[in-house]
C-alpha cells in the first residue's frame, strides 16, 4: 500500500503513522523526523532546514523533494510506504506522482486527519517527543509509561523547538495557505479519504483501519 497522511500540525499524523506502519507492515517516513535528526546531528541539511523550521515555514521544495526521492529508492519501499508530512505543496505532490510513475506505480490513498484549529494548541504545547525513534506523547492525552522516557526505546523525551504558541500559529497559517490545496488535488483524483481526528487516539485508529482494510492491496 502506498499512502500519504494529510492534516494540520497536531492532527495526530505521527501518532497514527506509528500504529499504521506496525499493522500494515509499511515503512513510516516522516520528513519532519528526517529534518529533526539532521538538525540534532548538525548536518548541512539540518543547518539549512532549521532556519525555516524554527520560523514555522516550509523547507524549500527542492531540498524536500530530493530527500523523498532518495528515501523512496530504498528497498523497504518497494511494496509500499506511509508518508507523514509529505507532500505539503502541490508541487511536492506532482513530484511524488512523477517519481512513482517512473516505476509504473501510483498512490493508493491520501488520508486526511481532520482537526479544527481550536484543538491544536493544547495538543502541541503538551506534546513530548523522542528524537531517537520519533514517537510522540502528550502529558495528558497520551502519557509515556515512565515520565520523560520513551516507551519504545527508553530515550529521553523532549519538547520540540517549534511547539511554542507563536510558531504553532504560524505553522497552521502555512498549512492553510500551502498544504490545504492538496485536499482538493487528491479529491479530484478520487484518492482522498477523511477521518475525524478529534476522537480518542484509538478511535481515530479504528476509523483509519476500516478505510485501509477496504482498499488493501
Alpha-carbon dihedral sign for residues 144, 113, 34, 202? positive
Provide the annotated active-site residues: 13, 88, 127, 160, 171
Task: Report the site for ligand AP5 in 19-48 (rule: CB under 6 A).
Answer: 30-32, 35
Name the binder of 9 from Zn ion, ligand AP5, Mg ion, none, CB < 5-8 A by kind. Answer: ligand AP5
Nearest distance in Å: CB 191, Mg ion: 21
| Contacts with ligand AP5, 165-184, as mask; x by CB under 6 A | ------x-------------
Residue 52 or 114 with smaller CB distance to ligand AP5: 52
Sheet of 109-114: strand order equals 28-30, 81-84, 2-6, 109-114, 192-196
Q: Does 14 contact ligand AP5 by CB under 6 A?
A: yes
Q: Beta 109-114 vs 192-196: how paired, if at all?
A: parallel
**Binding Mg ion by CB under 5 A: which of 10, 14, 87, 93?**
14
> Does 205 sit near ligand AP5 (CB under 6 A)?
no
Distances (CA, A) of 5 to 100, 124, 147, 150, 188: 17, 18, 29, 23, 17
- Residues lying near Mg ion in the complex (CB under 5 A): 14
Amino acid at each position: 500500500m502506498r499512502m500519504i497522511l494529510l492534516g494540520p500540525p497536531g492532527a495526530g499524523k505521527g501518532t497514527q503513522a506509528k500504529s499504521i506502519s506496525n499493522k500494515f507492515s509499511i515503512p513510516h517516513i516522516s520528513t519532519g523526523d528526517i529534518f529533526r535528526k539532521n538538525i540534532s546531528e548538525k548536518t548541512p541539511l539540518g543547518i539549512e532546514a532549521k532556519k525555516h523550521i524554527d520560523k514555522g515555514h516550509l523547507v524549500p521544495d527542492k531540498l524536500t523533494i530530493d530527500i523523498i526521492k532518495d528515501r523512496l529508492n530504498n528497498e523497504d519501499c518497494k511494496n509500499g510506504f506511509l508518508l507523514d508530512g509529505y507532500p505539503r505543496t502541490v508541487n511536492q505532490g506532482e513530484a511524488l506522482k512523477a517519481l512513482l510513475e517512473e516505476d509504473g506505480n501510483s498512490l493508493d490513498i491520501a488520508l486526511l486527519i481532520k482537526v479544527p484549529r481550536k484543538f491544536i494548541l493544547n495538543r502541541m504545547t503538551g506534546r513530548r517527543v523522542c528524537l531517537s525513534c520519533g514517537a510522540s506523547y502528550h502529558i495528558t492525552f497520551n502519557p509515556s509509561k515512565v515520565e520523560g522516557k520513551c516507551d519504545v526505546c527508553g530515550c529521553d523525551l523532549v519538547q520540540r523547538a517549534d511547539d511554542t504558541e507563536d510558531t504553532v500559529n504560524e505553522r497552521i497559517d502555512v498549512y492553510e495557505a500551502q498544504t490545504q490545496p492538496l485536499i482538493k488535488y487528491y479529491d479530484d483524483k478520487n484518492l482522498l479519504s477523511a477521518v475525524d481526528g478529534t476522537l480518542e487516539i484509538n478511535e481515530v485508529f479504528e476509523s483509519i483501519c476500516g478505510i485501509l482494510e477496504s482498499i488493501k492491496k
